[in-house]
Structure 1
């Protein structure tokens, strides 16, 4: 973490009134946001937009979890009317997830302000991409109010999504951890679209790539109901893989993604086995929990709690692969991959990981080693591919690579 820089960072939302005065005068704007759309004075971007006299806030667009973060993961919803502003709240997480031309008719320009995690399968990135495609087709500008990558902008982890495995939890060929801000990601994908949108990014001020979110001085609001703290964010890009299995990933507890388990796991035995691997920067401790909802609701689960002991050394994805491999090796008679949700669809783990390699090879020691090797190589190659799209320079050792 960078020391001595707390309180200096201004997000795109903090700079919106000044930017709007010179770029959006007289426009009807639509805002794609959620509760994380907030400035450093704790004013929501919805209210910021509504208070700018030179623009008209004509519509809100809501993605997974709703405009106020009121819905759990996977809960679909339809269009609503904002009770306070009396303007439409158009759902992008109902029957329709890709905006239609009719959805964009009320506005001249669309703004995006959502805190993401810099992780490929966090669905906000996909919703943004769909909106960019819709704006390109409609000939309407798209503006990203940039926000920090919570884990900084230097470290990346592979592997890349394979063509044919696109979904809401992976819409583009990028690694698990992109090492990009949401604005940089928009620049990258827009440059590769068949039809580019008129993209504008209102950049961060005072942010450097070696800063984690607590260094910024910006208020932290949960990006989604199961992402309460930075401890959760730190393990999410790895432990989210357990969503594709019949183990609980801790949803329905106060420690989602930090706790992994099932009724048939022996937590002492599992923690002893995985700790013996000597994985850097992490310790797995036996834990018992009872999910209040989601998988194994109401059942006593045993498993492990992931403690990050050295954030700089910890590799969440590699650690999760080793943990998952160990579970399969020890409990192969009870372990299962979640089956496809619909006929003709792939297993959910395939969408999460961007290919079928984890499902088809991780049970073998050689498969695990090959995955770790290949994904590390893909992450290194990605660093070069992302370089032209960085809005903020590299720092420290990474800058000289």
Structure 2
């Protein structure tokens, strides 16, 4: 293999310019912007690019891989000479590992949205065969969300490499839980290739209450958890959250040149409906609309950058749009209907969580009985109290006060598991 480890965001140039698979109308499009992004993030080296650290751990072992479209290994950045960037190439992790004849890749496990990342949110992902590598793929978002004993019996080690965005109801951390639990039960060590958390500079939101535990949130953490996948795995082990308190043997290939204050632009959309930085920064706040009857941009090219519904007040909201079936959303809410709401695609958004959009939409609903999908909203919020507080007319400041103690307690607990500086 013998090539140099190099910087992750070179891939932003490769993927956006060369591959149309992840391109949307509101993705970064100009070469100047791409160059700026590459240079801004070029110091961070993700776990997957540190091949010298983990390839020796895989040689001579039967390997399983938990991966999706974000599992990318980049080759080498030869040099940067303005205005030219010389780049070799990039690989999907599974393709990269499978091409190394000294390694024995046995099978792949796919989370929500699938191995190559083209399934709708919540859509069952089917088992199958990867047409490129001919490796068997086992779904972790269908009949089985946890690898079975039979699926692990011919493995010596499992690799986990998935990009998270730092929000409790983003299901990749639930997949991490189940993979760790299955590996622990079957004595299979887990190798985690860490990646930055683009919302990793803060913690916020209500803490999950036990009775609302689901695949949308399994652990008593705030809505925005402020950890990388590697750090979160440490917490799962340390807090005894796996069944019967069992521990998974984990090795984390740590990030280089990353702190929780680092800004990070994802080179590949982490799921079909998070197309760009704007959507990822807004996702913690607009993701709560998933538990309501409000459309959060699904069925448009501006997912999680707008929201609306036919029953929002058209005299208050001057912006309107019509959701249509598209990539990543075959059946968007209010498909084919005019939705009145708010466009945030060009708003200057800081990294942070706010209730102002949900509260504003609720207050300006013509028919408030249509607003909440109560069971689903409580699962997203992690508590029934948030809906009750919004319906009671509480302000965001009043609601936030009810989270203060839980956030302080969580922050203290989180501190012992952090790998990177705050």
- Could you say whether these structures have the same fold, taking a TM-score greater than 0.5 normalized by the shorter chain as the test? yes
- Of 371, 377, 395, 1:349 maps to 377
Q: Write out aligned runs for 1:274-293 (5 A).
A: 286-293=318-325
Q: 1:379 Cα deviation (Å)? A: 2.5
Find out whether 1:25 has 2:69 as its counterpart.
no
- Of 57, 64, 77, 2:112 maps to 64
Q: Say if 2:208 and 2:221, in contact at 8 Å, map to a contact too.
A: yes
Q: Say if 2:355 and 2:396, in contact at 8 Å, map to a contact too.
A: no
Alpha-carbon distance change, 333 to 205 in structure 1, aligned in 2, over 3 angstroms: closer
- Of 284, 289, 310, 1:242 maps to 289
Q: Say if 2:117 and 2:271, in contact at 8 Å, map to a contact too.
A: yes
The whole-number CA distance in structure 1 between the counterparts of 2:353 and 2:360 is 10
Find out whether 1:389 has 2:421 as its counterpart.
no
Alpha-carbon distance change, 387 to 19 in structure 1, aligned in 2, over 3 angstroms: same
Q: Write out aligned runs for 1:372-383 (5 A).
A: 372-383=400-411
Q: Say if 1:158 and 1:176, in contact at 8 Å, map to a contact too.
A: yes
Q: 1:365 Cα deviation (Å)? A: 2.4
- Of 349, 363, 366, 1:326 maps to 363
State the partner residue of 1:142. 190
Secondary structure of the equivalent of 1:379? helix
RMSD: 2.3
- Of 70, 73, 95, 1:47 maps to 95
Q: 1:371 Cα deviation (Å)? A: 2.5
The whole-number CA distance in structure 2 between the counterparts of 1:206 and 1:333 is 48
Secondary structure of the equivalent of 1:128? helix
Find out whether 1:167 has 2:214 as its counterpart.
yes
- Of 334, 346, 349, 1:296 maps to 334
Moved more, 373-382 or 110-119: 373-382
The whole-number CA distance in structure 1 between the counterparts of 2:323 and 2:417 is 41
Q: 1:4 Cα deviation (Å)? A: 7.4
Gaps of 5+ in 2: 1-36, 76-89, 326-331
State the partner residue of 1:201. 252
Q: Say if 1:80 and 1:88, in contact at 8 Å, map to a contact too.
A: yes
TM-score (norm 1): 0.84
The whole-number CA distance in structure 2 between the counterparts of 1:70 and 1:318 is 30
Q: 1:93 Cα deviation (Å)? A: 1.0
State the partner residue of 2:87. none
Q: Say if 2:206 and 2:383, in contact at 8 Å, map to a contact too.
A: no
TM-score (norm 2): 0.80
Gaps of 5+ in 1: 271-285, 340-346, 395-401
